[in-house]
Structure 1
Amino acid sequence: MYVDTHLPAYHIYRDSDLEGAMEFLDRTDMGEGSEASRPKLTLSMVMKNESERYLRRVLEEIRDYIDEAVIIDDGSTDNSAEVCLEVLKGMPVRIIRNDISKFSNEIELRKMQWKETVKSNPEWILNLDADEVFENRFKEEVRQLISDQEVDVYCFRLYDFWNETHYREDEHWCAHQYYRPFLVRYREGFECKWNDRPQHCGRFAENIFELPHKLSDIRLKHLGWVKKEDRMAKFKRYRELDPDGTYGSTEQYQSILDENPNLVRFEE
């Protein structure tokens, strides 16, 4: 007798047992390892005027492992929303459009992002910006990560790229030395306590670490600093929204203009 031990046994002792065989097979087809049984992974993203930057590249990379997307279009005047619908065609995508950008008060935007994302009844939430992409290992390992019943929050290091191959590393640019949450299991009833700051408030509630968490050595690439014109736009925005460095660092803002920063090649 041969028994496939990857599936539970269905015992047939009499002809009447045959009637339930197909129903049993349908149930086991939905079992461990199947598409239907794996935890649902929801992309949560905030974007504004990203169609000509990295949006398409990011979405094409992550569409292979997400199941749905909830995207806040924060006052775009380009076709960013249409790019999302095109690249993510075939999966549920909900786009919430802000006629006027809320980014000048980021905490309001992040609270909105969380509220809209949990409306989809997610199991896991992957919070990425439109200029962030994981190294290749993430695609291969993400399903294993979110199948771990002992972990609710995964933290990763974010590398600020200054060109397509190198990230910046100096006293002002060392974000990659710290771990931040990007992948979170949604726990219904979890009471968020937000860091109520208009800038640099964090993407998740500041008490997210009350949930079981783990550090991952998979790295996240931030492409938003790669182009000089993008760096200048960010410099002007930070100087306008936080001129005294109340929520960040004026020294770091000024260092954006450095002509010869220390760059390190990113090796996968």
Structure 2
Amino acid sequence: MIDNLSFWGEDRHFCIRAAALGFSLYVDTHLPAYHIYRDSDLDGAMEFLDRTDKRGASPSGASRPKLTLSMVIKNESDCCLRKGLEEIRDYIDEAVIIDDGSTDDSAEVCSEVLKGIPVRIIRNDVSKFSNEIELRKQQWSETVKSNPEWILNLDADEMFEKRFKEVARQLISDQEVDVYCFRLYDFWNETHYREDEHWCAHRYYRPFLVRYREGFVCKWNDRPQHCGRFAENVFELPHKLSDIRLKHLGWVNEEDRMAKFKRYQELDPEGTYGSTEQLFKHSG
């Protein structure tokens, strides 16, 4: 007690005692709060929740940007799909997933891991990957139907390092940036990535996180393979390089490497859209 103070109420008592003891107090206003002072205030709680969406929108209409995961999957359930989605779900608001002709339970894994988050899965009865540009255009078209604010385009075998989770909201709150680029590391086992004359993707920055601008006219690279995930004119938008690294785990297992080798041999035998030297040296 402080004898010469007559203020009543536990909140005033707490603040005064904290100040007297030398503690600084701060209020986090990033998310709106509803003060329940007495039992009668409970009546307005549900109305408040109705006016406050799950992304932190306040009654005045302000909100945190919505982050939409856009992903293409095909027979990924035996790989790292589950592990990747478990990390992603902590910072996304919704997901749009193209199931490109899976014959396993990849789509069911997505629904299970992302339970509680709005997920829309579009199933292709016949895979479009042999003409990748058609698949990427479909992915973009379906994603923008959800009226996204930011689009995070990841493959099922890609995973950001842990600190991305801590800064994701900070990145998409920057009004000066529309495109974030990251370096992708091709891991050759669980702990090491490959680097040599044929494997050096991590030396370059590529766009993975893009703000959706309504009215932006996409100009695509119409190559059937290695066409890029976003339109090639995306760099007309304000962009920034991030030092956060992205792990690519699609080459970790020898079985997966052989499957990729055979697939690209069939789709691009002359190496017109990729590197035949890289493929022939796939096993390191």
TM range (shorter): 0.7 to 0.9
**Structure 1 counterpart of 2:7:** none
Matched, 1:35 2:35: no
**Structure 2 counterpart of 1:233:** 259
- Offset of 1:255 from its aligned partner? 1.1
**Structure 1 counterpart of 2:23:** none
* Aligned counterpart for 1:203 among listed residues 216, 229, 237: 229
Aligned to 1:167, what secondary structure does the other structure show? coil
Letter paired with 2:263: R
Structure with more relative contact order (C-alpha pairs < 8 Å, separation 6 or more): 1
**Structure 1 counterpart of 2:117:** 91
TM-score by length of 2: 0.80
CA contact 2:158–2:248 (8 Å) conserved in 1: yes
Structure 1 pair 241–6 and aligned structure 2 pair: CA distance change class (3 A): closer
**Structure 2 counterpart of 1:47:** 73
The separation in 1 between residues aligned to 2:252 and 2:28, in whole angstroms, is: 48
Instruction: Render the CA deviation track for 1:114-143: whole Å, top value 9, x for unaligned.
Output: 000000000000000000000001000000
**Structure 2 counterpart of 1:67:** 93
**Structure 2 counterpart of 1:145:** 171
Structure 1: gaps spanning 5 or more residues: 8-21, 259-268
Aligned to 1:97, what secondary structure does the other structure show? strand
Higher alpha-carbon Rg? 2
CA contact 2:190–2:252 (8 Å) conserved in 1: yes
Structure 1 pair 78–188 and aligned structure 2 pair: CA distance change class (3 A): same
The separation in 1 between residues aligned to 2:82 and 2:138, in whole angstroms, is: 24
- Offset of 1:30 from its aligned partner? 5.2
CA contact 2:186–2:193 (8 Å) conserved in 1: yes
**Structure 1 counterpart of 2:192:** 166
Q: Determine what percentage of the aligned residue pairs are the same residue.
A: 82
Relative to structure 2, which stretch is displaced further, 35-44 or 134-143? 35-44
Q: For residues 1-268 of structure 1, what are the structure 2 equivalents within 5 Å?
A: 35-36=56-57, 37-258=63-284
Instruction: Render the CA deviation track for 1:174-202: whole Å, top value 9, x for unaligned.
Output: 00000000000000000000000000000
Structure 1 stretches of 4+ with a deviation exceeding 6 A read: 4-7
- Offset of 1:35 from its aligned partner? 2.0
Letter paired with 2:56: E
How much is the aligned-residue C-alpha RMSD, in angstroms? 2.2
Instruction: Render the CA deviation track for 1:74-116: whole Å, top value 9, x for unaligned.
Output: 0000000000000000111000000000000000000000000
- Offset of 1:26 from its aligned partner? 5.1
Relative to structure 2, which stretch is displaced further, 248-257 or 230-239? 248-257
Structure 2: gaps spanning 5 or more residues: 1-11, 13-25, 30-43, 58-62
Aligned length: 240
The separation in 1 between residues aligned to 2:139 and 2:189, in whole angstroms, is: 29
CA contact 2:184–2:245 (8 Å) conserved in 1: yes
Instruction: Render the CA deviation track for 1:195-249: whole Å, top value 9, x for unaligned.
Output: 0000000000000000000000000000000000000000001111111010011
TM-score by length of 1: 0.85
The separation in 2 between residues aligned to 1:75 and 1:104, in whole angstroms, is: 12
CA contact 2:254–2:283 (8 Å) conserved in 1: no
CA contact 2:69–2:151 (8 Å) conserved in 1: yes
